[in-house]
Amino acid sequence: MCDCIEKIEKRLDERCKAQEFRKPYESVEIEQAFVLDGTVMTTKTYSKAIITLTGQKKKIETNIMHSFCPFCGEKIADPKSTI
């Protein structure tokens, strides 16, 4: 499995430290979700999809789990360990 998430987080951290914000910078992280498939738990990155409906103020949010790394395109391996 690739280490893109760690590399990107490190680059983002360096970039954020160099920027000025209204308040002191603390940290940055790329969100991942725990996914339970049967008895196997793994973490995956995801994208948020926001659905807007005509005439409705509240938007619907849903997550789309990535099967491939969104940065390098490497297939995310199926986990072999079980809970």
State the Cα–Cα distance between residues 26 and 45, nearest whole angstrom.
Answer: 22
pLDDT at site 83: 47
Domain ranges of the chain: 4-65
Selected residue with higher pLDDT from 81 and 56 = 56
**Structure confidence by residue, pLDDT tens digits, 54-70:** 888 999 888 888 888 88
Residues in the chain: 83
pLDDT of residue 78: 66
Beta strand pairing call for 60-65 and 32-37:
unpaired
Structure tokens at 18: 């160099």
pLDDT for the residue numbered 56: 87
- pLDDT tens by residue, 4-50: 889 999 999 999 999 888 889 999 888 888 877 778 777 788 888 88
Number of other CB atoms surrounding residue 45 within 10 Å: 19
